[in-house]
Chains A and B, each alone.
Chain A
Amino acid sequence: MSFESFLFVLTGGVVLGALYALMAAGLAVVWTTLGIFNFSHGAFVALGAYIGWQVGNVDGFALGHVLGLSATVLGMFALGILFQQMFIRPFERKENIVAATVITTLAGATVLQNGMLLIWGPRSKQISGIGEGSLNIGPLAFSWNEVALIVLVAFILGAVGWFLSRTRTGRSMRAVSQNRQAAELMGLNVPLLYALAFGLSAAMAGVAGYFVGSVRFINPTMGADPLMKALIVVIFGGIARFTSPIYAALIVGLVESFTTFYLGLYWAPAVLFAMMMIVLTIKPAGLFGTHQRTL
């Protein structure tokens, strides 16, 4: 393998890692606060991409990237809250919430996917790149689209991290995730915080979808593969801190990139899943994790 192809694989890994980080962080926000795994996260990714395409792209309303991305964020935030009220709220206090929400979020994903199929049809769409040309830093070559993606992801993750650790609402959210009863006794509005957490997670998925839509084709099931990767990331890194899925995402992105190059397309996912199972068996709380539910 030449040095150039090594660098090519490396940049590919970083871009993948950034996307996975955005998805995994969104999954982790819901997991840690509500204590459930959201299987419709992949459908959220696709829905975010469709909304962005509809508003921003020339074949849609042609309002440009800024408005397209804003519509994705706001639309997915609202839809996320609606989704949570419909599919998760009724089971919040039930004993079997974990199993029940697996089926309801899967059902929700079915509803969303078929809804997208009905609205936008089966034909694949694509969001035009955010920038054209490429940026060369020494031997490293990033397209401007990838640069924008990495910068925006870093910015969004930084902003969400700041929100969770510095603002009153964000801290309340972490408090709820640590101890619901105590948080309720302190007068926190738990249903509202749950809704906000879910909306935030959906918005992050939507943004991830917007970016995926600019590098791959948009179709209702486009989120399935990134969801599986995000699942690996979340388990691999653990959810002890908000930053742990981010590091793990980079590792997973790089591993995927390199195994794809060396072992071929089909083997990469198997290696990742095997890696995840080994981590889970040896250190169930994840690579960076302590066995505690918090943000």
Chain B
Amino acid sequence: MRYDPPFHRTNGLIPAVLFVLVLAVVPFVFDGSYIRHLIILSLVFAIVAASWDLSFGFGGLLNFAHVALFAVGIYTYGILAKTYGVNPWLAILLAGPAAMVFASIMVLPVLRLDGMYVILVTIAFSQIIYQGVISQSDITGGTSGMVTLPMLQIDGYRFVKDGKIGYYYTALALMVVCVGSIYLITRSALGRAIIALRDNKYYAMSRGVSEWRTRLATLALSAFFAGIAGGFYGSYVRVASPDIFGIGSLTLVLSILLVGGLATLWGPVIAAFVIILLSESLGWMGAWRDIIIALMIVAVMVFYPGGLWGVIQELRETFATLRAALMVRMRRRFERAKREGMLGLREEMVETKHGLIAVADTGASHTHTGPPILLLHGNSACKEAFQNQFAHFRDRHRVIAFDLPGHGASDNGDPEETYNVIAYADIAEEILTQKGITNPIVLGWSLGGYNALELTARNPQAYAGVVTTGTAPLNMAPDDFAKGHDAKSHLILAGKQYLTGAEATTFASHATVPKSEKSAFLHRNLRRTDGRARFYMITKLTVVDWPRHMRMLREGQIPVAVMNGHDDPFLNHDYIAGLQYGMIWKGRTTDIPNGKHAPFFNEPEAFNAALEAFIDWAAEARAEGD
């Protein structure tokens, strides 16, 4: 089971609550029932579009009978509440199951068909319903429809007398409940089966997803909410007219769905407001209104295939990028002294082809008897994580570390160019050249471990040795990435662009240690790191020449130490120990007890002692080898 937080732990919570709150206070701010009328319509069509999204977007079924099922809801309300005098509230509730029954009939032809044929058969099905409605004029009122349907009332309080306030809040509550239920469905086992059938039908079926049962559930559930929306709509407009079967309402709902963005759920909800308010505000233009809206829909489809949801995501990324840029400036201006205090070193900015990089370098000294040490930090961390190594090794070694782009005090980079393991190794190479450092020991932590392997594998003879900690070497990505790590862990967050506060805390606690005075600066890195650095780094793992790393380890081209925390929450130790190493310190991987994912930080004494021993051994091993 992969990491999948409940809704109240996701980034969606605050916007969703704000959205509902704003809608809840609108009647107090804007007077006049017209605006309330428009919002009620938007809420109803938001439910219709969102429930359509379940079958159309998530299920990939090109089901064009959805508006007809909405109409079934309206007529069910009309017939039950007016003809049979059923309580209007009950009639709305029964409109859902009525639409479900009709949708279930449709399953048989839909199951046998694919793509375009599904569109045609569902259109034909809605036409049959339409013909049934207009031919049974005794029951449905035929072409003139049904009028003066009963209104909603609670205990004698009649909803039409209050300037639509009652309808407004009923619609709002209905929208929250329906869209919330659809959200829960998409995240349930059933929802995952629906999506799996869309993405790869035969694979899903071979994994035990029943096609017809899932399709039936998809269509029936999607119809249920459409039917409820129809029942409410019937009670609100108090008319059931066969016009609703026309091409106009199909186009309206379809454009809400597609302009909002398929399979996004929130997109159609937002688009319902945009499209309904837009089409109302252009009402004075007559026939031009429909032309303009139609052309706008086509323009959205051409230029923003992801719909409004895609636009919102783009805005969000722009905002996050600006924020990351601001955070770099703040760090450089206000926190430099604090950083320099941690390492006991001056921080310098080095110009590289991937932008300005913050470097900490002890510089050369005559007391240095051992090789230089290059320290590469991990995902969403910073060079100060190595403060204990600086303190311990600086007397006898030249120690150098830098902040990766998008991290710490370094520049944020171009995501396509900069945020990947190859570019990180390029930067390390460039800094070593600029500083005139030769034959260093390279230590990499986690993501830094991959950078270290990439750097040394390019020319193993130029490095005194390589140490990885918290890293699982790969032969191919992404398959080995799954094997080398614990799939149950929160590692998935390492590639997530936007972390919530809870997620940031969780990830930082797993990657380093739970927040304490000592580790607070590591936790703060999560908020500083450019989210794109996480996302692009993970998605670009496949571009690295992984077999070259493995070959270097296997053939013993360089002295290697693998020092992992014994209780590392992310790693699969058996996988790492089972790899072949040609020249590994002590002949095996090294466990640091209680080290977790950052043993050099959590257990500095044990780690530094091991590293020191490895450096001595590496020199001998190199001498023997040559």
Contact = CB atoms under 8 A, between A and B. Distances in A.
Interface of A: 31, 35-37, 39, 86-87, 90-91, 94, 96, 98-100, 102-104, 106-111, 113-115, 117-118, 224, 228, 231-232, 234-235, 264, 266-267, 269-270, 273-274, 276-277, 280-281, 284
B301 A267 contact: no
B258 interface: yes
Contacts of A276: 121, 124
Given A106-B250, A117-B287, A273-B127, A231 B134 contact: no
Given A104-B298, A107-B294, A111-B295, A98 B124 contact: no
Contacts of B288: 114, 118
Interface centre among A87, A106, A113 (most CB of B within 10 A): A106
Given A37-B120, A104-B301, A270-B128, A110 B294 contact: yes
Q: Interface centre among B117, B121, B124, by most A CB within 10 Å?
A: B124
B72 to A, nearest CB: 15
B127 A269 contact: yes
A231 B112 contact: no
A96 B135 CA distance: 37
Interface of B: 56, 62, 64, 108-109, 112-113, 115-117, 119-121, 123-125, 127-128, 131-132, 134-135, 247, 250-251, 254-255, 258, 262, 287-288, 290-291, 293-295, 297-298, 301-302, 305
A273 B128 contact: yes
Nearest to A281: B109
A37 B295 contact: no
A231 B124 contact: yes
Contact of B255 (A86, A96, A107): A107
Given A99-B56, A103-B255, 17 more contacts: A37-B116, A39-B247, A86-B298, A98-B115, A99-B258, A102-B119, A103-B254, A103-B301, A107-B255, A108-B298, A109-B247, A111-B295, A228-B127, A232-B124, A235-B120, A277-B109, A280-B113
A281 to B, nearest CB: 4
Contacts of A109: 247
Contacts of A232: 124
Nearest to A286: B117
A204 to B, nearest CB: 20
A107 B121 contact: no
A110 B124 contact: no
A87 B298 contact: yes
A68 B311 CA distance: 47
17 contacts: A37-B119, A37-B120, A91-B301, A94-B305, A98-B115, A99-B262, A107-B251, A107-B255, A110-B251, A110-B294, A115-B287, A270-B128, A273-B127, A280-B109, A280-B113, A281-B108, A284-B117
A280 B116 CA distance: 12
B239 to A, nearest CB: 21
A70 to B, nearest CB: 28
Given A117-B287, A266-B134, A277 B62 contact: no
Contacts of B287: 114-115, 117-118
Contact of B120 (A90, A113, A118, A231): A231
A108 B319 CA distance: 36
B302 A111 contact: no
Contacts of A37: 116, 119-120
Contact of A284 (B112, B134, B298): B112
Contacts of B254: 102-103, 106
A273 to B, nearest CB: 4
A31 to B, nearest CB: 8
